[in-house]
Amino acid sequence: MKTFKEIVTAYSCFMRGREERIIKKAMAAMVIVMVFILIPRSFAEELLAPIMGIVQGPTDAPTDTPAPTPDPSVAPSPTDLASPAASPTDMPSPSQSADSASPSPSPTPEAQADQSMHVMIPSVVSIDPRAHSVFLPMLMAGGMRTLLVCGYTNGPSLIFGAPENGALQGGSGTSTFRITGDPGTVMASLNGSMGMRALSSQGGLSGSQITLRFVSLTMPSIKMELCNSGSPSNTRTISIRALGMDLNMVKDGVTLK
């Protein structure tokens, strides 16, 4: 059996060994702290990794995972399809639906119900029997907002006095013409500087007739069917007649004193 002295000696050795271990751990901790403080972090980690047993494995690079392909045999059910609910503001109003369904028709030119107007047209134009052309006297018509004049002849052509004054027209230089617009523009185009000209290329003008129809319209138009929509009282006929003379006329002699 150990003596008391041996027991005390053993205890003292045990305590000295324990204190040495504690001191070593404290010094190691202080060294680690000083390394982190005084040395850059990356270099300190390289020095301390073997001591602390820190082993960092390589970071795995992310791998591209293929997206799952849908199975074409599996079709989505009607309940899976989301149907956006129509908000009240998205619904067309009744007025908008009516406007889009039935666009407003464009106005159609037609004859006025009131065809009263003032027309001053000569009924007879006398010419030389040998004449192949003649300028008509001034034509006058008014009392309406929009005027349509339709002209017809039995042979000669009719040429406007000023065909390019802006009036809507067609047929100048032919035996049938139509011209429309406000009355001042229409009459200025027909009369021009010397008047409308009747021209025959195959013979004399004697015996020719020119028919003019005046129609009051709601808007300018030269549609042929509108020529017959006016009042018969506004139709005028110009007869071209030869003067009472011919090439065989014999004059009496004159006695000089």
For residue range 229-248, what is the model confidence (pLDDT) as tens digits? 999 999 999 999 998 766 56
Looking at the domain assignment, is residue 102 inside a domain?
no
- State the total domains in the chain: 2
Query: 230 and 122, same structural domain?
Result: yes
User: Is 147 domain-assigned?
Assistant: yes
Q: φ, ψ for residue 185 (rounded to 5)?
A: -65, -40
Q: Is the dihedral of CA 229, 156, 186, 140 positive or negative?
A: negative
The SS3 of residue 106 is coil
Q: What is the CATH number of the domain that holds 150?
A: 2.60.40
Has residue 72 got a pLDDT over 80? no
Residue 222 lies in a domain: yes
Report, in this order, helix, strand and coil percent for the chain, each rounded to 5: 30, 20, 50
User: Tens digits of per-residue pLDDT, 83-96?
Assistant: 555 555 556 565 55
Q: What is the mean pLDDT of residues 154-162?
A: 92
Is residue 144 located within the same domain as residue 233?
yes
In a domain, 43, yes or no: yes
Token pair recorded at residue 72:
């074409």
For the chain, what is the mean pLDDT?
79
pLDDT score of 205: 92
**Would strands 146-153 and 209-217 be described as parallel, antiparallel, or unpaired?**
antiparallel
pTM over 0.75: no
Q: Tell me which residue range forms the domain holding 234.
A: 118-242
Residue 233 maps to a domain: yes
Residue 114 pLDDT > 50:
yes
> Would residue 148 count as lying in a domain?
yes
Please give the Cα distance from 155 to 134 (Å, whole number): 14
Q: Which of 38-47, 107-116, 240-249 has the lowest mean pLDDT?
A: 38-47
